[in-house]
Amino acid sequence: MQDQETDIAPDLAETLENLPAGPGVYLMADEHGEIIYVGKAASLKKRVWSYFRSPAFRSPAAKDRKTTALVARIRSLSTISTVSEKEALILEHNLIKQHRPRYNVLLKDGKRFPLLRIDTREDYPVIEVVRRVKKDGALYFGPYAAAMAARETLRTIHTTFPLRRCKGPLKTRSRPCLNFQMGRCLAPCAGMVTREGYREMVDEAVSFLSGKTTELLENVRRKMNDAAEREDFEQAAALRDRMYAITKTLEKQAAVTTDFQDRDAVAIAVKHDAFAIAVLFIRAGQITGGRDYFFEMPAEPEEALSSFLRQFYESDRSVPGEILVSRKLPDLGLLSELLSELAGNKVSVLCPVRGDRARVMAIARQNAEDALLRRIEEKGAQKELLVKLSRRLLMDRLPSRIECVDISHTRGSQTVASLVRFENARPEKSGYRHYRLSSRADSDDYAAMREVLTRRFAKAQEEGLPDLLMVDGGKGQLAVAMAVLQEMNLVGALATAGIAKKDPARRETSDKIFIPGRANPIIFGRDQDALLLLCRVRDEAHRFAVSFHRKKRGENAIRSELDHIPGIGPKRRQALLKAFGDVASLRRASGEEIASRTGLSLAAARAVLQALAGNGEGIGTP
């Protein structure tokens, strides 16, 4: 093998000569000792040596780019042997999560998709939107690509199947709520339906969510005919309307498979040094939603897809019984076994070539290609925008990372601050920060700005530096920012700018951008889109600060007014705060509503309302 190797450092060459032949995991590090790639192999010796062979031994072009870039940075190598290839697969996954190497596919979206949950073991179960699958014996339906889609389905359920909407254990009421009067609840709380009658409605809702619509419609039709024969025409009309609603809902849904099974379709599209992965959720044979993911790095499609699947289905995600992939993966069997253990039932990973599955995969593949093209075009537009901004602000680099600080207070008191981060002209929520400021910052915006910036740049080594720091305000706030950077020896390490609102009294037509060393604001001329980007960053920082300030103000208000109510301790105050958010909402509630939403007794709920009414800002209904 020596005649095939490229130039290799002596220490690394010695490691390569002593590689084990069995399965395991290999970790590649750069000159600083940072892990830049983690991989698994059935044979460590064969797999690792393949990286260091001459280009003639490397196959696809995408692999060439990745391997060339990776090998050029490798300075050390370590391996961990395992008993089996499956153990290597699990270890590789854990090490990627631990080290987050730059040349591995990393799924940064840890967001859990919404699902619908119903616990049929309860006497009067409720259907709710959740984001976590628990092994609690309840039934879960989904996932849905967005909360809006899940809530829309829930609205359809509530309209068609009048199950209760109140959360938590069923509370007994003397009379039913308004939902019963509107025909949208069976009112088990007031004894308006038997347990058996409510159970029948639950079973119908579960059948609808499970895709068993044919037998559901037949069952409703049979009940309707029975009610008509008994001359219970009111009940027959209600069943007729339900059958009509189910039929109309089904007409809006297009089935893509004829077996009505749950499955996901995952496809990858590759172009140059970027790729996109599209995931389609198929439930009961119908597409319920999907999500696209974009990665800007060279990669082998099979390796990227395999790594993506392992990361996507962790964290309590709903794993269907079948996952379709657009490429034949070398570790399909291992992936099936691993995902089956994660799901607690058999999961098959398949690469279809014909039939309904292949047609579904064609849709997923087209989605991936469209997403990739859309993101490449968007990246080009983003870069052009950042070039304009860099030129207008006289920067020596592109402002790829922009951070903006905003201060919020109420007439100089309860001062808080926010910091938002944009990466490549897009919000990067992981970089958002809230700051509770010291009392010294009250009534002094400059002191508040100094405190925030000092705290932010004290963590410069951990969180890195932005290319551009924006402060919401004019020359005064900008001067404070420059003073902090001077004190922390960061002048020149990043660009700074202040943004001030336009003054209509002076006939100003746009917001003003100030930079150090210039008395007058920047004139953007034809590059108004660059100015709009800065305004968007500032507006997001303002929104984030105001929402935090409003929340803090509400917490302080509700806690202060509840502090001295007999029988309301810290836990009950927290329950009230979580359920209602502010005092105004609490005052508008009835005693029964407070009791049902917080778990308080009716007497305690009425005591809360009586105490709040004594403060003179309105009276809740006892």
* Interval 534-544 mean pLDDT: 91
List the Cα angle 171/172/176 in 5-degree steps: 105
pLDDT in tens, 102-158: 888 887 765 677 888 888 888 888 888 888 877 778 888 878 777 777 887 888 788
Q: Are 168 and 596 in contact (CB under 8 A)?
A: yes
Provide the pLDDT for residue 572. 80
Predicted TM-score of the model (pTM): 0.65
The SS3 of residue 286 is strand
Average pLDDT value for residue range 581-598: 79
- Would you tell me how many other CB atoms lie within 10 Å of the CB of residue 391? 11
How confident is the model over 65-90, as pLDDT tens digits? 667 778 888 888 888 999 888 888 88
Would the pLDDT of 40 be above 60?
yes
pLDDT in tens, 46-66: 888 888 764 533 444 445 566
DSSP for 85-127, please give it. HHHHHHHHHHHHHHH--TTS------PPPPEEEE-TTSSS---
pLDDT tens figures, 377-426: 888 888 999 999 999 999 999 999 999 998 886 554 567 888 999 999 99
User: What is residue 173's three-state secondary structure?
Assistant: coil
For residue 515, the model assigns a pLDDT of 93
Mean pLDDT of 217-246: 78
Mean pLDDT of 457-463: 88
Closest Cα to residue 212, out of 285, 124, 126, 288? 285
* Nearest Cα to Cα of residue 108 among 118, 99, 97: 97
Full 3-state SS string of 291-359: EEEEECCCCCHHHHHHHHHHHHCCCCCCCCCEEEECCCCCCHHHHHHHHHHHHCCCCEEECCCCHHHHH
Decide: 190 and 173 in contact? Cβ < 8 Å: yes
pLDDT of residue 276: 93
Residue 338 confidence class, pLDDT cut points 50, 70, 90: confident
- What is the C-alpha to C-alpha distance for residues 606 and 58, in angstroms, rounded to an integer? 76
Angle at 236 between CA 235 and CA 240, to 5 degrees: 120
61's CB contacts (< 8 A; 6+ apart) are none
Residues 6+ apart with CB under 8 A from 162: 179, 183, 184, 185, 186, 201
Distance of CA 483 to the CA centre of its chain: 37
Q: Using CA atoms, how far apart are residues 264 and 271, in angstroms rounded to an integer?
A: 23
| Mean pLDDT of all residues belonging to the chain | 81
Helix, strand, coil percentages in the chain from 3-state DSSP, rounded to 5: 45, 20, 35
Section 506-529 average pLDDT: 88
The answer to whether the Cα torsion of 614, 617, 618, 622 is positive or negative is negative
Give tens-digit pLDDT for 271-297: 878 899 999 888 877 777 788 899 888
C-alpha 186, offset from chain centre? 35
- pLDDT value of position 326: 93
- Mapped onto helix, strand or coil, the DSSP state of residue 182 is coil
Report d(CA 258, CA 119) in Å as an integer.
28
Sheet holding 128-130, edge to edge: 128-130, 115-118, 139-141
Kindly compute the dihedral angle of the four CA atoms of residues 187, 189, 194, 198, in this order, to the nearest 10 degrees.
Answer: 60
For residues 331 and 395, which has the higher predicted lDDT (pLDDT)?
395
CB-CB contact of 240 with 273 (8 Å): no
Q: Which residues contact 57 (CB under 8 A, 6 or more apart)?
A: 4, 50
Only one residue has tokens 């961990």, namely 80
Among residues 391, 390, 393, the alpha carbon closest in space to that of 521 is found at 393
